[in-house]
Structure 1
Amino acid sequence: MVILGAGGFAKEILQTLEKNLSIEEIVFFDDVSLLSPNDIFNKYPILRSKEELKNYFETKGPNFVLGLGNPKLRAMMADLAKNLGGILSNAIDPNATIGEYCSIGNGATILSQACISNSAQIGEAALIYYNCIVTHDCHIGDYVELSPGSTLLGRVKVGNFTQVGANATILPGVCIGDNCIIGAGAIVTKDVPDNQIVVGNPAKFLKYNS
C-alpha cells in the first residue's frame, strides 16, 4: 500500500493502515520534499520519483491511499497515481462508526471516532476526520474535507471539493455548493452557493474562494 504524501496528514493515515497491514506492506510517496529523510519513523521507505512509484505498482501491488488534506491536491495526486497504474483505495479506521445502510465512495478516508449514520452517502476520496458526525440522509460530494469535530445534521448536502472547518455545524436540510470553505466553528443555517467562504454564528459570506 502506498500513502501518497509524507507530511503530517500522511502520518495520521499511517495510524489507520498499521491496524491492518504489516510494516513491509506500507510505503510513502513524496517527489517534492527531496531533502527530507528517506524514511518515516525509521521504518517506512519513501518513494522519490514517478518511476519508482510506477515500478512499485507493477511489482508490489497497485493500491494507494491519499495522505494529503487539501481537496484539489488530493484529486491531482489521485489522477497522477491512477495514470501510473495505481488503484485508489479506502482508508477506514476500525474505530469509526458507520451505519450498515450507507454508501461509501471509492478512496474515502474515515478516521477514528467519526460517526456516519444510516442513509448517508459519501463521495469519492472524501476525507472525514476525527470525531466528525454525519447524520441520516446527508450527501457528501467527491473530495470533500470534513475537519475534526464537524457536524452535519440530517439531509445536509455538501458539494465537491468543499472544506468544512473544525467544529463547524451545518443545520438540517442545508445545501453547501462546490468549492466552498466553511470556517472553523461556524453554524451554517442557510444554503451556501458555489465558491463561497462563510464564517461565524450564524455563518455569513466572507469572500469568494478562488
Structure 2
Amino acid sequence: MLIIGAKGFAKEILEVLHQLKQLEGLAFYDDVTFDSSNLLFNVLPVLKTEEQVKEHFKKYGNSFSIGIGNPHLRYKLYLKFKNLGGLFCSTISPTAQIGKYDVEIGAGSNILSAAIFSNSVKIGKGCIVYYNVIITHDCIVNDFVELSPNVTLLGNVEIGSYTQIGAGAIILPKVKIGENVIVGAGAVVTKDLPDNCVAVGVPATVIKELEPLNFQ
C-alpha cells in the first residue's frame, strides 16, 4: 500500500493499517517537504518522486490511499495516482461498526476507529469518516466528503460531493446538503443547504458563498 502524504491524516491511516496488520510493503509519498526524512517514524519509507512510486507499484502492488484531508486536493491526487497505474483502495478500521445490510463503501474511503454505520448507508469514493461518526439509516454520502470527529447524520440525509462537515455537527433527518459545502463545528443543520456555501451555528445558517469548484 502507498499512502499519499506523510503528515497529519496520513498518520491516521497508518494506525488503521497497523490495526489490520497490513504494514508489509507500506510506504508514504511526499513530494512537497523535500527536507523531511526519508523514513516516517524512522521505520516506514517516504517516497519523493513519481519514478519511486512506479517502482513501488511494481514491487509491492499498485494499491494506494490518500492521507490528506482536503476534499478538492484528494480528488486531484486520486486522478494523478490513478494515471500512474495506481488502484484506489479503502482503509476501514476493524473497530468501526458497519451495518450488515445494504451498506456500500466506495473505493478509497478511509473509515476510522469507532465510526458507526447503520443499514442502508452509501459512502462514495474517497471519503473520510473520522472517529465516532454516527451515520444512521438511509443516508447517502457522496464522493470525497470529509466527516469530522463526532459528526451525526440522522435518517435519510444526503451529503453532496466535496463537502466538509465540522466536528460535532448534527444533520437532522431528511436534510440534503449540496456539493462543495463547509459546515462549521458544532452546527445543527435543520434544513437543506445549497451548493457552494459555508454554514455555521444552531440552527445552521449560510454565512458565505463559495466559488464553484473548478478542477481544470
Distance across 2 between alignment mates of 1:127 and 1:143: 7
> What is the aligned partner in structure 2 of residue 137 from structure 1?
138
Q: Is the 8 A contact 2:137 2:156 kept in 1?
A: yes
Partner amino acid, structure 2, of 1:142 = D
Q: Per-residue displacement from partner, 1:20-39 (whole Å, max 9, x unpaired)?
A: 24543210011111111111
The question of 1:10 aligning with 2:10 is answered yes
Q: Is the 8 A contact 2:17 2:23 kept in 1?
A: no
**Superposition deviation, residue 94 in structure 1:** 0.2
Q: Is the 8 A contact 1:3 1:65 kept in 2?
A: yes
> What is the aligned partner in structure 1 of residue 214 from structure 2?
none
**Superposition deviation, residue 57 in structure 1:** 1.0
Partner amino acid, structure 2, of 1:31 = D
Distance across 2 between alignment mates of 1:164 and 1:28: 26
Partner amino acid, structure 2, of 1:205 = V
Q: Alpha carbons of 1:100 and 1:22: their partners in 2 closer, same or farther (altered >3 Å)?
A: closer
Q: Give secondary structure in 2 for the equivalent of 1:24.
A: coil
Distance across 2 between alignment mates of 1:143 and 1:22: 24
Deviates more, 1:23-32 or 1:145-154: 23-32
Distance across 2 between alignment mates of 1:82 and 1:167: 33
- Pairwise CA RMSD: 0.9
1:50-199 to structure 2, matched below 5 A, reads 50-101=50-101, 102-199=103-200
Q: Is the 8 A contact 1:58 1:85 kept in 2?
A: no
Task: Tell me how many residue pairs correspond in the alignment.
Answer: 210
Stretches of structure 1 that go unaligned for 5 or more consecutive residues are: none
Q: Per-residue displacement from partner, 1:49-89 (whole Å, max 9, x unpaired)?
A: 11111221122210011101110111111111110010000
Distance across 2 between alignment mates of 1:177 and 1:140: 11
Overall identity of the aligned pairs, in %: 50
Stretches of structure 2 that go unaligned for 5 or more consecutive residues are: 212-216
Distance across 2 between alignment mates of 1:8 and 1:116: 25
> What is the aligned partner in structure 2 of residue 44 from structure 1?
44
Distance across 2 between alignment mates of 1:196 and 1:165: 14
Distance across 2 between alignment mates of 1:35 and 1:209: 34
Distance across 2 between alignment mates of 1:22 and 1:130: 20
**Superposition deviation, residue 160 in structure 1:** 0.4
Distance across 1 between alignment mates of 2:203 and 2:125: 29
